[in-house]
Amino acid sequence: MRIDRYLQLNTEYSLRQVRTLLLDGQVCIDDRVVRDPAREVSRFAKVVCDGIVLNDSRPCYLMLYKPGGVVSATEHPEHTTVIDLIPESYRQDLHIAGRLDLNTTGLLILTNDGHWSRRITQPESKVAKVYRVETAQPVVDEAEAVFQQGIYFRYENLTTLPAGLERISPRVSRLTLYEGRYHQVKRMFGYFANEVTALHRESVGGLVLDPGLEPGEHRHLTEEEIGLF
């Protein structure tokens, strides 16, 4: 958004008064005086007008080891949410970049940067999500080829994107998906009448769950990790 429009919306000044303040050097973005009314303001810029700080929010990028039984939501009337696991000092405006089911564990990403999170969650991005899957019955030999070909979901009238399946043991597999359909993993294994008994997300794109984290713990992403998306 242009700085003149931003100030008009976020102060009591008229557009004419805003432009006067700009010309007089009374507006700063990230501690630098701005006089150009067409200067763009980013979501996390520090904006000061006539000595008053209008915005000083900072981007926040977290990885959380989601435990089972915790809801991937910002609030819930019955269950603990993933936001409840984050300190109040920086939980404001956080949202989830790719939810996990109630009993699914593993890597969850939270941020207040919508532009960044859309690069992870938009279907066209096709970001790989890797899951460790435990099943009630041994995984059949033909599952790998079927998953790679895609499975038709009648309810949505679509065929899933090709998925990678690596069998670690008869009842433990590693599954790589490039989309996030409703209960997709359970439905894919359900195609073979095989119940998923445990599901754990290991990674999203190049971001791998920190092995030093315990369930319920979180940490901030590094600059390198943020740059993966």
Q: Taking residues 142-171, what's their average pLDDT?
A: 95
Q: Which residues are catalytic, by number?
A: 101
Rounded to an integer, what distance in angstroms lies between the CA atom of residue 194 and that of residue 136? 6
Give CA torsion, residues 115, 119, 120, 121, to 10 deg.
80
**pLDDT at position 92:** 79
At 200, list the tokens. Answer: 């754990």
Confidence check: pLDDT of 56 > 80: no
- The pLDDT tens digits of the residues spanning 100-134 come to 999 999 999 999 999 899 999 988 889 999 999 99
**pLDDT at position 85:** 95
* Contact (CB, 8 A) for 131 and 175: yes
**Residue with more model confidence, 158 or 58:** 158
**pLDDT at position 112:** 92
- The pLDDT tens digits of the residues spanning 159-207 come to 999 999 999 999 999 999 999 898 999 999 999 999 999 999 999 999 9
pTM score:
0.83
Domains and CATH numbers, the chain: 3-55 (3.10.290.10), 61-226 (3.30.2350.10)
- Cα–Cα distance list, 71 to 109, 124, 155, 222 (Å): 14, 26, 24, 25
State what percent of residues in the chain have pLDDT above 90.
81
Work out the pLDDT band at 18, boundaries 50, 70, 90.
very high
Chain centroid to CA 227: 14
**pLDDT at position 86:** 94
